[in-house]
């Protein structure tokens, strides 16, 4: 049977505080409950972790050994928590488009987002449709509106057969966007006059 992380964290608090009273004041858990949990932890680990006296809890040899390990675990747990909380610090925006647009945005995402502290983008290929019920995307730049889900749309107007000029935009060197591979058959690729290569 393995010790729970909650009990190990409580062990750390008792060991660093020197007894149940200090641990109770720090956690809000009653001293008798903490005492029972420490006794249960000792039984689970089949080791004597504390020497109990009127002056409080003093770590036994196995308790000292465990304390070193639990401190390492606590440090790593804190690092994981910090790393994980960073995932929610910046707003996240999903952009869907057909193949060429999704690829273009994905390849130039550093121009859209300037790293930590800015909006994070995730690009989706909406070539085979988009399900707005499951909120596949926050923004969709597509030729036909989704057939499902609640959404509001704003038409961009008729673009005719013009190409997309990107001279100097986002650090691109060319004067237009080309499409190859599966994206060649997309309506937007045909509008750009892309030829099969």
* Digit-coded pLDDT (tens) for 5-56: 999 999 999 999 988 999 999 999 999 999 999 999 999 999 999 998 888 7
Q: Is residue 158 pLDDT above 70, yes or no?
A: no
pLDDT tens digits, one per residue of 71-81: 999 999 999 98
| CA trace torsion 32, 36, 38, 39 (10° rounding) | 130
The confidence score (pLDDT) of residue 25 equals 95
Please compute the mean of the pLDDT values over residues 52-73 and round it to a whole number.
92
- Rounded to the nearest 5 percent, the helix, strand and coil shares of the chain are 45, 15, 45
Within 8 A by CB and 6+ apart from 9, the residues are: 70, 74
Is residue 130 within 8 A of residue 146, CB to CB? The reply is yes
Mean pLDDT over all residues of the chain? Answer: 74
The confidence score (pLDDT) of residue 87 equals 66
Q: Is residue 70 pLDDT above 50, yes or no?
A: yes
Q: Is residue 82 pLDDT above 70, yes or no?
A: yes
* pTM confidence score: 0.50
The confidence score (pLDDT) of residue 177 equals 42
Is residue 95 within 8 A of residue 139, CB to CB? The reply is yes
Tokens 């004067």: give the residue. Answer: 175
195 phi/psi in degrees, rounded to 5: -100, 150
Q: What proportion of the chain, given as a percentage, has pLDDT over 90? A: 34
Task: Give the closest residue to 191 by CA, choosing from 123, 125, 104, 98.
Answer: 98
Task: Give the closest residue to 125 by CA, choosing from 104, 144, 156, 145.
Answer: 104
pLDDT tens digits, one per residue of 93-137: 887 777 777 778 778 777 877 777 777 777 777 766 666 566 667
Tokens 């085979």: give the residue. Answer: 128
Q: Is residue 178 pLDDT above 80, yes or no?
A: no
């Amino acid at each position: 049977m393995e010790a729970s992380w909650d009990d190990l964290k409580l062990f750390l608090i008792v060991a660093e505080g020197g007894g149940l009273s200090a641990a109770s004041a720090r956690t809000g858990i009653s001293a008798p409950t903490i005492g029972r949990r420490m006794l249960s932890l000792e039984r689970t680990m089949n080791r004597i972790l504390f020497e109990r006296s009127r002056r409080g809890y003093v770590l036994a040899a196995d308790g000292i050994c465990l304390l070193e390990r639990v401190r390492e675990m606590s440090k790593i747990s804190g690092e994981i928590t910090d790393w994980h909380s960073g995932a929610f610090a910046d707003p996240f925006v999903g952009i869907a488009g057909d193949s060429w647009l999704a690829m273009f945005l994905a390849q130039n995402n550093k121009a859209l987002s300037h790293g930590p502290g800015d909006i994070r983008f995730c690009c989706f290929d909406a070539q085979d449709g988009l399900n707005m019920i499951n909120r596949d995307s926050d923004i969709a730049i597509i030729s036909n509106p989704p057939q499902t889900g609640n959404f509001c749309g704003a038409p961009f107007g008729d673009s005719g057969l013009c190409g997309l000029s990107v001279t100097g935009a986002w650090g691109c060197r060319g004067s237009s966007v080309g499409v190859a591979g599966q994206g060649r058959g997309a309506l937007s690729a045909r509008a750009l006059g892309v030829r099969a290569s």
